[in-house]
A = this chain, B = another copy of it.
Amino acid sequence: MPLKVTLKAVAAHAGVSYQTVSKVLNGRLQVSPETRQRILDAVQELGYRPNQIARNMRIQRSFMIGYSWVQTSQDQVNHILDQFLSSMVSEAEAAGYHLLPFPFREGQGQVDDYRELVDTGRVDGFVLSSVNYNDPRIEFLIERKIPFVAFGRSNPELEFPYVDVDGADGLRQAAEYLIRAGHQRIAAIAWPHDSRVGNERMRGYFEAMLAGGLEVLPEWIERGEGTFEFGREAALRLLDLPLDRRPTAVVTLNDTQAIGAMAVVRERGMQVGRDLAIVGFDDAPMSQYLFPPLSTVRQPIREAGRKCVEILVAQMEGRQPSVLQVLLPPRLIERASA
């Protein structure tokens, strides 16, 4: 078997011109059943596989989807990446595309990286993640009319395709669950005001409290980082409130904060679930094994990955996708912590 078997080799073997082979394989030409079979046999025998680089060169497309994600630190690992990435990769492959991961750079140069990938013809479109308000990438991609889809929403006034998990619904489920369980004083450990994702999730909390006829005291809303440490500090403050204003339950914006809060409860000799109900968000891999197992909101990550690619591919192929904006419902996983 020669090192590389091209169209010409197949053509020589089948006794036709190489262009004919190309057209037959792409179904762009009617030929007699015999020659068709001869060509197919030759392809089979020589093990011909079309060179994708040459193909892409001619077509002027790369069939690549750019993707980059925020690099996390040792203890803030992105446990969602595995699912998100592999679902995108599978969906992309099924549509004849591949993913091109590239380093995430904060600040100034970030848009340059996106521009470079397009200008050098390496990618046809992007999946964005970690979007927030006023994301410069979104502005750039819209202006250059480069196909993309965001995993997460940005400024409401911007019109672009996105897939997002309905964070408000997630916290609404969490809060409603606590309310049904009889809790009246429900606190929230949240993120700073500049987090679009955080604000959206908190909306669900506020709505549920309002709908339940429950009051929300300002001191029940703790805003800070999504870390174990902040979860600890916030829980300390909440548990130090005078008894009549002390929350009996708390929702958090991720499991790491929730675990911080759990630690405080244990340190005080109290019991998670009984003395303070806690609900997390994310369903981190270990959360089910904590003591007690953490009730939490699980996001349909694989579904999100699939949808992102589906919408993006439709765009890139020039088809108008049926829906440009998708909101996926998360699901409350009820365990013993609340």
Contact = CB atoms under 8 A, between A and B. Distances in A.
A311 B45 CA distance: 35
A323 interface: no
Copies of this chain assembled into the complex: 2
Given A57-B57, A98-B101, 20 more contacts: A49-B120, A52-B120, A53-B56, A53-B122, A54-B57, A69-B82, A69-B86, A77-B79, A81-B82, A81-B85, A85-B101, A86-B103, A89-B101, A90-B103, A98-B100, A99-B101, A260-B289, A263-B291, A286-B287, A286-B290
Contact of A100 (B56, B100, B259): B100
19 contacts: A51-B121, A52-B121, A53-B53, A53-B121, A54-B57, A76-B285, A85-B85, A85-B101, A89-B101, A89-B103, A90-B103, A98-B102, A99-B101, A101-B101, A259-B289, A263-B289, A263-B291, A286-B287, A291-B291
A215 interface: no
A195 interface: no
A103 B93 contact: yes
A83 interface: yes
Contacts of A116: 49
Contacts of A252: none
Contacts of A155: none
Interface string A71-114: 11011111101110110011001000011111110000000000
A212 interface: no
A83 B77 CA distance: 8
A21 B106 CA distance: 33
